[in-house]
Amino acid sequence: MQKLAENAAIIVVEDSDVIRKIIVQIVKKIGVTDVREAIDGSDAWKQITERAPDLILSDWHMAPVDGYKLLRRVKGDEATKEIPFFMITTENDLKLVNQAKEAGTNVFLHKPFSADELKLKLQNYLVF
């Protein structure tokens, strides 16, 4: 796995304005400056196809296009399949979690999570 530079582009996909802003704030505090926001999988896909990010942080449960559908779309597309995908979720159903792992999720981050926990997960993909 190749590590990304600190100036990597990250997209945060979250339907809750409050949670999305918190995640963006944490990522920026870590030192990432190119952080984009999307309100659901459809909005994210549009942005991803316009300018692919280096890493995706996505909530699972959103409408109309949820994180799992976005994951399948990203990992099923030749141009985007190598982008690391972090699934942020409250999901505890082992069958669904395994389904997402099989679809290509790189990292699961369970809500609620701390800034330190997110930083630790990102350190495997970013150079600090």
H-helix or E-strand spanning residue 37: strand 34-38
Residue 128 has pLDDT above 60, yes or no: no
- Of 112 and 75, the structure prediction assigns the larger pLDDT to 75
- Of 74 and 96, the structure prediction assigns the larger pLDDT to 74
H-helix or E-strand spanning residue 71: helix 67-75
Of 109, 116, 94, which is closest to residue 59 (Cα–Cα)? 109
Residue 94 has pLDDT above 90, yes or no: no
Mean pLDDT of all residues in the chain? 90
Residue 4 has pLDDT above 60, yes or no: no
Domains, the chain, in order of start with CATH, read: 9-114 (3.40.50.2300)
Residue 120 has pLDDT above 60, yes or no: yes
Residue 15 has pLDDT above 90, yes or no: yes
Residue 71 has pLDDT above 70, yes or no: yes
CB 52 within 8 A of CB 85: no
